[in-house]
Structure formats: C-alpha cells, structure tokens
C-alpha cells in the first residue's frame, strides 16, 4: 500500500525502475562490474602489502587503499554510466513514444528528472557493491570518517556530472546511437582531451595540473583539498556543480524543443558539403575527375547494389575521398616523424600513428558492421527484406559489401605506415630500452606479419560485429555490445596478466605466460611493432605470432559460418532445411533446431 502511494506521483520513475529491474542485462552488467572492481582492488591491496617489510607495517595504509578504490570507481562510472544514461530520452524519440509522454500531464521538467533519477539509481547500486571494500579500508586503519564522507561525495559528484552530460546528449540527439557516441566523445574530451590540449599549449607546473584536470572530480578534489575537509571540497568543486546544473538546464530546454526532431544523416550532409567543395575545385582546374560513377541497375545483387550506391560509406566517390584525406594525414604525420624522431634513434611517433590508425579503423568497421542489420530493424524494413526470395546467407553477404569496400580503403593508410616502418624505420632500429630488434628475422617477415594481420583482424571484427548485430535487436545495444566485447577481448588478457603479476609478484616467473597475451589482437600488434618487447622474440622466433594469427583466422571462419548458416534464423525466417546442412557440426544449429529437429518446411 505504501508503494502504491509513492508510485502514483512518479509514474515515469516507477516505469523506468521496473523495466530496468526486469532486464537480465542489468544483472549481467552488475556482475561484470563487481568482478572487475574486486579483482582490481585485490591486486592493488596485494601490491601495497608486498611493499611493506613487515606484515604489521601494512596497518595504517587504509587511506591509500581508499584513494585507489575511489579512482577505480571513478573509472567505472566513466565507462558504464554514459551507456546506461544515453538512451533515456533518445530511445523514446526513436520509438515515437515521446509524443505520448508529452500528451500526459507530465511536463518536460518532470520527464527529465524522473528519467535522470531512474537511470542514475542502477549506477548507485553499482557503487554500493564497494561497501565491503570500504569496510576493509577502514579496518586497516588510517581512515577517518571525514575521508569516507569525502570519498562518497567524490563518487556522487562524478555520477552527477557524467549523468548530466549523458542525458544532455540524449535530449539533444535524435537517435540513441548519436547520443551514445556524443556522450563518450564529450566525456573523453573533458577528462582526456582537455588535459592533453592544455599540456600541449601551456607550460606544465603544479597549478597547471589542477587547471588541466579541472573537469575530473577525482583529481580536482584530491589535488585541491589535501586536508579532505567536506566544506573545502564543496567550495573547490563549485564549478563542477555549476556545470552539472547548466547541463541539466540545457537538457530541460532540449527535451521540450527537440522532442519531435527528425533524425538526419549528418554524415551524408557532411559528404554533400565535401562534394560541393570538390566540384568547385574540379571546375577551377579544368573539370578533372578521376572517378565517374555511372548509373547502374541492381541486377541479381539488389542488396549489394543498395549498400554500395545508396550508402554514404559504400559509394566509391566518398570512399576515395576518405582514403585521400586519411592518406594526407598519414603523409603529414610521417613527414613530421622523419624530421624529429630518427634523430633520437627511436620510432615512438611512428608507433603512435600505427596504433591510432588501428584503433580508428577497428572502431569504424565495428560501428558500420553492427549497424547494417540493426538499422533495418529500427527502420522496420527488415521484415520486407526477409520476405524476398533471396536466401538469408545471400542477404548477409550482400549487406557486408559496403563494409569490404570500407576495409579496403582503411587498409591503404595502414599499409603506407607499414612500408614506412620497414623501409625507413627498420634500418634505424637498435637494441634500446630492453626491446629486441628484428634484425634476426628481417624486415620482410615484419611486413608480411602486419599485412596478414590487416587481412585477418579487420574482417574478423566485421564478422563479429555482424553476428552481434544479427542477434541483438536494438541498434544502440548492438554497437555497445560489439565495442564492449572487443574491449574485453583486446584488453582482457593484458589486464589479467598485469593483475596476476601484481598480486603474486611473480616477476620473471610469469614469462611462460607471455605467449597467452597474443590471444589479444591489440597485444599481437603491439608486440610485433615493439619487436617482441616482452622477450617473445629473444631467439628471433616467429612461431608464437604465426600460431596466434592462425587462431584468429580460425575464429574469423567460425563467426562467418555462424552468420551465414544461421542467417535465416536470425532474420526471423522459417525455411526448409537443406540436406547439405546435415553434414554441418552441431554447434552451428540454433538451440533445439539440429538435424532432424527443425521445421519440415
């Protein structure tokens, strides 16, 4: 009865909490968050304990553990909260249910704050998972009640700042995907981009550090108020509270004014401006055109024709211009590296360009691949596509036609960097910093490995994202799950290795586990660029890298088979089973749909 009395004035908040509580994803994310939190805290506590000469000397270090715990929680908030908050209002716009909300007696302010609190409560439950760890910190001593209160204040302030930023993006953007991307980009600029820009343009000093991290609550609080007084923290973070209030006010304004905004293809508008610029440029230089796209007909590949002629990232003209722009950036970066870096006998700048190019290529391929089928579901055109006489596997293969073009374009700047690395940087390599040189192996093997990695890793990412996009119904969820899976796959082995080594202090005894790092594609690329930096190439052996690349190629074939042979099932079609499918392994069949168990027709 009491809950009914409380639920009546807050219908939207009750609906949000009930829906979140009914989703299995909420509890899966909570378990993942708890596992990561306790694993990192255990590793940090073990490393701190080993620094003490005597076990009793560890007593009194609870404050250090508390500060590290707050730092880990802050990173968790920045990683999980934008994904949880960015769809609060944008999802209502996508489902065309925002008009129904505006017809109720709820005003924009009530809609906003009930949505905000409804998405903030799950994050607060995540923070409650750290209560046993706070008790451990307090038990070790050195922690006062003011320290605990100030730590809780830092976490709450971080939740408010990140949540206000995410819901502002959700209120402004027309789609969940746009709000998701905008929230992470803006948060990355405030927490990483602004400090980096500040360091590049200003002289570093003690006060400059506080100014650079002025938007990060954790660093602002612990740098500006060493006494850990709650009143001092509130005064020193008044600018963050004011910024949070301004973002919520802007979110309120956009909730009312952009409630019925029509989604627009910003990429297509940008490429249209690029088209106009190049057209004027061509007329000024005699109307020179390298590529003239003629009008074509779909033929017997209608889906592929649509993906390569109607999609912004599938048309040849746009892809060529993207390749030219990327190649120009690479040439400018290589020129700067040739001028500065070789004088020091190092290839740090070239390594950074290769890693950044890989990250951007993987992100772009992941988003485009995961969005190919999910976008059809959002536009409610997938059912129409499924009624065509085409086979499901043909639909999936043709939907990826534009992705293969994109991969070919993205491979051009990567290959350029590889060639510069081998023909210009290779003669300058020497043994420095404990890294092994590739002189025992040769530049040809190095170049061959990187070319093979490009031919395996990018298609592997495309098929993985396509498989997730086929299984997941929501476009934003498909992109989010794909990015999280790739992050866990690439960073998981390295983080696990670091945590085990930190917790056990094994040191050189962990060298036998180093080949396991090659399970991560990111670690594979890093170790190849560093020339076997962890001792894997002490004898100039290529076997670990070749075997790891072969394993990733096998995964590529597995994900491709899952997408093609289960395509009809994922697309919601019921077809007769072909006799040829009887020879397939059982793991390729959906649950309860093995040979002889499926529909007869």
Tens-digit pLDDT profile for residues 52-68: 655 565 677 788 888 88
Say yes or no: 379 and 466 in one domain.
yes
Other CB atoms closer than 10 Å to residue 141's CB: what's the count? 12
Other CB atoms closer than 10 Å to residue 145's CB: what's the count? 8
Say yes or no: 141 and 35 in one domain.
yes
* H helix or E strand, kind and range, residue 50: helix 24-50
Residue 585's pLDDT is 53
More confident residue, 486 or 504: 486
Say yes or no: 415 and 525 in one domain.
yes
Q: Do you know the residue count of the chain? A: 601
Distances (CA, A) of 63 to 218, 390, 516: 15, 64, 35
User: In this predicted structure, which of 141-155, 288-302, 376-390 has the lowest mean pLDDT?
Assistant: 288-302
Distances (CA, A) of 149 to 153, 335, 389: 6, 52, 65
Say yes or no: 26 and 132 in one domain.
yes
Number of domains in the chain: 2
Cα separation, 260 vs 93, in Å, equals 7
Contacts of 117 (CB under 8 A, 6+ apart): 13
Mean pLDDT of the chain: 77
Residue 58's pLDDT is 63
CA 444 and chain centroid, separation: 33
Contacts of 316 (CB under 8 A, 6+ apart): 291, 293, 308, 405
User: In this predicted structure, which of 159-173, 285-299, 354-368, 488-502 has the lowest mean pLDDT?
Assistant: 285-299
* Token pair recorded at residue 106: 């709820």
Distances (CA, A) of 43 to 143, 393, 502, 509: 20, 46, 6, 17
Average pLDDT over every residue of 362-381: 84
163 located within any domain: yes
Q: Is residue 343 predicted with pLDDT exceeding 50? A: no
Residue 56's pLDDT is 61
Domain's final residue, options 198, 224, 257: 257
Q: Is residue 16 predicted with pLDDT exceeding 60? A: yes
Euclidean distance between the first and the last CA atom of the chain, given in angstroms as a whole number: 53
382 located within any domain: yes
Say yes or no: 333 and 449 in one domain.
yes
User: In this predicted structure, which of 307-316, 509-518, 541-550, 587-596 has the lowest mean pLDDT?
Assistant: 587-596
80 located within any domain: yes
Say yes or no: 493 and 348 in one domain.
yes
581 located within any domain: no
Q: Is residue 258 predicted with pLDDT exceeding 60? A: yes
The listed range with the strongest mean pLDDT (38-47, 116-125, 232-241, 591-600) is 116-125
Contacts of 428 (CB under 8 A, 6+ apart): 342, 345, 347
Average pLDDT over every residue of 408-419: 89
299 located within any domain: no
pLDDT per residue over 6-15, tens digit each?
A: 445 788 888 8
Eight-class DSSP state of 435: P
Tokens 């070919």, residue located: 408
User: In this predicted structure, which of 212-216, 294-298, 531-535 has the lowest mean pLDDT?
Assistant: 531-535
Residue 247's pLDDT is 94
Cβ-based burial of 258 (10 A; exposed 0-12, middle 13-18, buried ≥19): middle
Confidence at 435, pLDDT banded by 50, 70, 90:
very low
Q: Which of 359, 363, 271 is nearest to 320 (CA)?
A: 271
Tokens 């040979």, residue located: 595
Tokens 């040739």, residue located: 338
110 located within any domain: yes
Say yes or no: 323 and 212 in one domain.
no
Say yes or no: 222 and 349 in one domain.
no
Say yes or no: 50 and 132 in one domain.
yes
Residues 67-86 as b or e (16 or more Cβ within 10 Å = b): bbbbbbbbebbbbbbbbbbb
588 located within any domain: no
Whether residue 56 contacts residue 135, with contact meaning beta carbons closer than 8 Å, is answered with: no
* Token pair recorded at residue 324: 């030219």
pLDDT per residue over 126-148, tens digit each?
A: 999 888 888 888 888 878 888 88
Say yes or no: 126 and 188 in one domain.
yes
Domain coverage including residue 184: 2-257
Number of H helices, E strands in the chain: 27, 0
Q: Is residue 345 predicted with pLDDT exceeding 80? A: no
What's the pTM? 0.72
Q: Is residue 508 predicted with pLDDT exceeding 80? A: no
The DSSP-derived string for 391-460 is: -HHHHHHHHTHHHHHHHHHHHHHHHHHHHHIIIIIGGG----TTPPPSTTT-HHHHHHHHHHHHHHHHHH
Average pLDDT over every residue of 543-547: 82
Residue 461's pLDDT is 93
* Token pair recorded at residue 515: 């080949």
368 located within any domain: yes
Residue 367's pLDDT is 86
Q: Is residue 406 predicted with pLDDT exceeding 80? A: yes
Domain's final residue, options 219, 240, 257: 257
**Three-class SS state of 31:** helix
Whether residue 70 contacts residue 155, with contact meaning beta carbons closer than 8 Å, is answered with: yes
Say yes or no: 402 and 538 in one domain.
yes
Q: Is residue 271 predicted with pLDDT exceeding 70? A: no
Domain's final residue, options 227, 242, 257: 257
Percent of the chain with pLDDT over 90: 13
Q: How many CA atoms lie within 13 A of 216 on its CB side?
A: 22
Cα separation, 556 vs 465, in Å, equals 11
Say yes or no: 468 and 551 in one domain.
yes
């Amino acid at each position: 009865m009491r809950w009914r009395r409380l639920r009546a004035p807050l219908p939207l908040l009750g609906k949000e909490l009930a829906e979140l509580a009914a989703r299995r994803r909420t509890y899966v994310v909570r378990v993942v968050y708890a596992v990561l939190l306790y694993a990192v805290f255990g590793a940090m506590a073990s490393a701190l304990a080993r620094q003490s000469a005597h076990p009793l000397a560890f007593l009194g270090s609870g404050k250090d553990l508390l500060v590290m715990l707050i730092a880990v929680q802050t990173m968790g908030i920045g990683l999980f909260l934008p994904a949880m908050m960015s769809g609060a209002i944008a999802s209502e716009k996508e489902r065309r249910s925002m008009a129904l909300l505006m017809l109720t007696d709820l005003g924009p302010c009530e809609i906003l704050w009930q949505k905000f609190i409804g998405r903030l409560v799950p994050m607060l439950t995540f923070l409650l998972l750290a209560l046993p760890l706070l008790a451990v910190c307090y038990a070790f001593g050195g922690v006062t009640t003011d320290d605990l209160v100030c730590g809780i204040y830092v976490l709450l302030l971080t939740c408010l700042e990140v949540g206000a930023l995410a819901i502002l993006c959700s209120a402004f953007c027309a789609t969940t995907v746009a709000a998701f991307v905008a929230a992470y980009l803006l948060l990355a600029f405030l927490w990483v981009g602004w400090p980096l820009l500040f360091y590049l343009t200003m002289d570093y000093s003690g006060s400059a550090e506080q100014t650079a991290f002025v938007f990060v609550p954790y660093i602002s609080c612990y740098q500006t108020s060493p006494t850990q007084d709650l009143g001092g923290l509130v005064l020193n973070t008044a600018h963050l509270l004011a910024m949070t209030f301004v973002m919520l006010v802007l979110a309120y304004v956009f909730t009312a004014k952009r409630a019925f905004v029509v989604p627009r293809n910003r990429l297509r508008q940008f490429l249209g401006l690029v088209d106009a610029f190049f057209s004027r440029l061509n007329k000024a230089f005699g109307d020179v055109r390298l590529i003239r796209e003629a009008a074509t007909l779909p033929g017997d590949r209608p889906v592929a024709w649509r993906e390569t002629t109607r999609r912004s990232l599938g048309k040849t003209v746009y892809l060529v211009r993207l390749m030219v722009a990327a190649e120009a950036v690479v040439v400018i970066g290589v020129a700067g590296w040739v001028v500065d870096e070789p004088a020091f006998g190092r290839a740090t700048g070239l390594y950074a360009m290769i890693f950044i190019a890989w990250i951007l290529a993987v992100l772009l391929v992941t988003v485009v691949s995961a969005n190919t089928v999910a976008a059809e579901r959002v536009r409610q055109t997938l059912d129409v596509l499924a009624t065509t006489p085409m086979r499901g596997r043909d639909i999936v293969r043709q939907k990826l036609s534009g992705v293969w073009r994109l991969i070919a374009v993205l491979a051009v700047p990567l290959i350029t960097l590889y060639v510069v690395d081998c023909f210009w940087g290779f003669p300058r390599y020497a043994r420095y910093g404990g890294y092994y040189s590739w002189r025992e192996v040769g530049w040809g093997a190095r170049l061959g490995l990187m070319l093979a990695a490009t031919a395996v890793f990018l298609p592997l990412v495309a098929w993985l994202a396509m498989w997730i996009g086929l299984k997941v119904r929501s476009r934003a969820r498909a992109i989010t799950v794909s990015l999280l899976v790739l992050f866990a796959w690439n960073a998981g082995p390295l983080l696990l290795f670091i945590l085990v080594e930190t917790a056990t202090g094994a040191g050189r005894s962990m060298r036998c586990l180093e080949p396991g790092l090659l399970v991560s594609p990111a670690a594979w690329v890093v170790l190849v660029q560093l020339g076997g930096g962890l001792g894997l190439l002490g004898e100039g052996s290529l076997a670990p890298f070749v075997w790891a690349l072969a394993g990733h190629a096998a995964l590529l074939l597995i994900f491709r088979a899952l997408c093609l042979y289960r395509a009809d099932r994922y697309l919601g079609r019921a077809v007769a089973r072909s006799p040829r499918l009887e020879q397939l392994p059982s793991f390729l069949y959906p649950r309860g749909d093995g040979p002889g168990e499926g529909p007869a027709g």
